[in-house]
Amino acid sequence: MKGTLFKSSVLPLKTGKLDRLPMTEVPAPREAIVFMRQHSGEVCKPVVEAGDRVLLGQVVGTAQDQQGADVHSPVSGEVTLVAPLEDPYGGFTLAAMIVSDGKDEAAEAMEPMADFNNMPPTRMFERLRRAGVTTYDLEPTPLSAAICPVDTASDLPTGIAESTTELPALDTVIVNTVDEEPLTVINQRLFIDNRDRAAEGIALMKRLTGAPRVIFAVRKSHEKIAVKALGPDSGAEIKVVPVSYPGTLPIVMINALTSRTIPPGGTARDAGVLHISFEIMLDALEAITKGSANIYEMLTVSGGAVNPPKNLKVRIGTPLRAVLRFVGCREAGIEKLVLGGPMRGKAQFSLDMPVVKGVNTILALTESEVAEVKETSCINCGDCVDICPANLQPNLLSRSCEFFKYDNPQFQKELRACIECGLCGYVCPSHRPMMQYFLNAKHHLGM
């Protein structure tokens, strides 16, 4: 971990023996909601109408630009509604509601590209978008666009691994088998279950990106397994990374592994790096070699209202209520329901909210677990300054935000450098809503 600018170990990720729990598949939901925008680009154009019959894995919305990825039906059944609905991020998005007929009749899969080493990457990019494979790079992005950024004016890919005026060449791929946030073990679990596919996945990533360097990030206890699974000629470097937050955040991990710094507000691609989780690599592998659409999301369901926590394989579009019922969680005991981890997840107002792409955790917190926030004054204890991985002074920034003083250019620069890890709010003894202040200010300033 030499040359790291970030403090990379603050919170140990306490997961107990959760990573030894196998994945359980949640049965198909009776009713699924599929949002037409689970990526950074334009909203998908729905290709179904209310009353249409759809099959499992059939396309229900097609991407309108290179920043978009198709969305698919997670069940076979009838479309009952195509209309804007409240989405998990606090806005309204066009969505299709599909009532399952319980038959799970599958649509025809796309043609497999088993021999991907002789396939032009551009065709594989098209396939990844058609299969709906998205990763997370600052915001949900199609994997193809994360590898090969799109020129927004012409909506054309800018060419793979080529250095453009703005971007450095993509020369490093980090495949991460460690989960970003505390309480989640999905990628660790998937790696253990699917280690025999790791070498193939790495070969695919090399073919897709043309990057000479692939780093396979594992936790210490998985190092030997990874050496054995990848074999000698995989061409990937196996690196041990700490299982502690915020060291597991991509922006911090990239800095630790490559000594490169992502500019404030930038993506990993701006530093010439592609960071993908093991889960996304598997999704890409499925889409290319089997031609299957991305309709599953792996989730750890955790929190005080869920006892014991479970690792689940859930269809995208399954309402959270169905997932929670499956794990035997009492609905009345939930005070706060979070899509995502405890540090960066989004709180949901409804149990009807469906699972969307890119979510690895469902957190059902009881009343006693929910962090209380108060509009109190900062006592300047300095805990947030000590813990901030970006070397900011959250105490001073939050005071500016508190009184809506957004004009200072230095303030704006520092605010942009905030990586939104949530640690300042986690440690604040005054229980100030730090992230709320920063997110609100960023929103006002259009960051």
Partner 1 sequence: MIKPSGLTVSAAPHVHCGSSVQERMTLQILALVPATLVGIYFFGLHAAIVVLLSMAAAMVSEMALQKALKREVSVADGSAALTGLIFALLLPASAPWWAVVLGSAFCMIMGKWVFGGLGSYPFNPALVGYLMVKISWPILLTEWPAPAPFGITNALPIETGAEILKRYGVTMAEQFSMINALLGNQAGGIGAVCGIALIAGGVFLISRKVFSWHIPVAFIAGVLLVGGIFRIMNPAEYASPFFHLLSGTTLLGVFFIAPEYTTSPCTIWGKLLYGFGCGVMVMIIRVYGTYPDGVVFAILLMNLLTPIFDRIRPKVVGIMKEAQADG
Collect all residues with Cβ–Cβ distance below 8 Å to 149 and sequence separation of at least 6: 157, 158, 167, 269
Q: With contact defined as beta carbons under 8 Å apart, do 34 and 95 qualify?
A: yes
The strand pairing partners of 347, in sequence order, are: 338
294 scored as a contact of partner 1 (CB under 8 A):
no
Q: In angstroms, what is the minimal distance from the CB of 126 to partner 1?
A: 33
Angstrom distance (rounded) from CA 129 to CA 215: 24
Angstrom distance (rounded) from CA 121 to CA 42: 23
Residue 162 or 386 with smaller CB distance to partner 1: 386
Q: With contact defined as beta carbons under 8 Å apart, do 156 and 66 qualify?
A: yes
Q: In angstroms, what is the minimal distance from the CB of 253 to partner 1?
A: 13
409 scored as a contact of partner 1 (CB under 8 A):
yes
What residues from 309 to 338 belong to the interface with partner 1 (CB under 8 A)?
331, 334-338
Q: In angstroms, what is the minimal distance from the CB of 407 to partner 1?
A: 12
Q: Which of 125, 136, 326, 426 binds partner 1 (CB under 8 A)?
A: 426
Question: Which range touches partner 1 (CB under 8 A), out of 118-126, 220-228, 231-239, 256-264?
Answer: 256-264
Q: What angle do CA 399, 405, 411 make, to 5 degrees?
A: 75
Per the structure block, which two tokens stand in for 176?
Answer: 């991460």
Query: What DSSP state is assigned to residue 207?
Result: H
Q: In angstroms, what is the minimal distance from the CB of 83 to partner 1?
A: 10
Per the structure block, which two tokens stand in for 195?
Answer: 């280690």
Query: What DSSP state is assigned to residue 56?
Result: B
What residues from 76 to 105 belong to the interface with partner 1 (CB under 8 A)?
85-86, 97
Residues 6-45: x where in contact with partner 1 by CB under 8 A, - otherwise, as a string: x--------------------------x------------
What residues from 109 to 138 belong to the interface with partner 1 (CB under 8 A)?
none
Left, alpha or beta for 210 (phi > 0: left; psi -120 to 50: alpha)? left
Residue 121 or 354 with smaller CB distance to partner 1: 354
365 scored as a contact of partner 1 (CB under 8 A):
yes
Q: In angstroms, what is the minimal distance from the CB of 379 to partner 1?
A: 4
380 scored as a contact of partner 1 (CB under 8 A):
yes
1 scored as a contact of partner 1 (CB under 8 A):
no
435 scored as a contact of partner 1 (CB under 8 A):
yes
Q: In angstroms, what is the minimal distance from the CB of 351 to partner 1?
A: 4
* Three-state DSSP string of 129-179: HHCCCEEEECEEEEHHHHHCCEECCCCEECCCCCCCCCCCCCCEEEEECCC
The strand pairing partners of 245, in sequence order, are: 11
Q: Which of 164, 386, 404, 444 binds partner 1 (CB under 8 A)?
A: 386
272 scored as a contact of partner 1 (CB under 8 A):
no
344 scored as a contact of partner 1 (CB under 8 A):
yes
Residue 199 or 439 with smaller CB distance to partner 1: 439
Q: Which of 264, 290, 307, 402 binds partner 1 (CB under 8 A)?
A: 264
Angstrom distance (rounded) from CA 187 to CA 174: 13
64 scored as a contact of partner 1 (CB under 8 A):
no
Q: In angstroms, what is the minimal distance from the CB of 263 to partner 1?
A: 6
263 scored as a contact of partner 1 (CB under 8 A):
yes
What residues from 345 to 364 belong to the interface with partner 1 (CB under 8 A)?
345-353, 363
Phi, psi for residue 330 in degrees, rounded to 5:
-80, 120
Q: In angstroms, what is the minimal distance from the CB of 395 to partner 1?
A: 6
Angstrom distance (rounded) from CA 106 to CA 58: 8
Number of residues that bind partner 1 (CB under 8 A): 73
Question: Which range touches partner 1 (CB under 8 A), out of 99-107, 281-289, 306-314, 392-400?
Answer: 392-400
Q: Residue 413 to residues 249, 418, 420: CA-CA distances in angstroms?
A: 21, 9, 14
Q: Is the peptide bond before 22 cis (omega within 30 degrees of 0)?
A: no
Q: Are strands 213-218 and 172-176 parallel, antiparallel or unpaired?
A: parallel
Q: With contact defined as beta carbons under 8 Å apart, do 174 and 276 qualify?
A: yes
Residue 125 or 426 with smaller CB distance to partner 1: 426
Question: Which range touches partner 1 (CB under 8 A), out of 50-58, 62-70, 157-165, 415-423?
Answer: 415-423
239 scored as a contact of partner 1 (CB under 8 A):
no
* Three-state DSSP string of 28-45: CCCEEEEECCCCCCCCCE
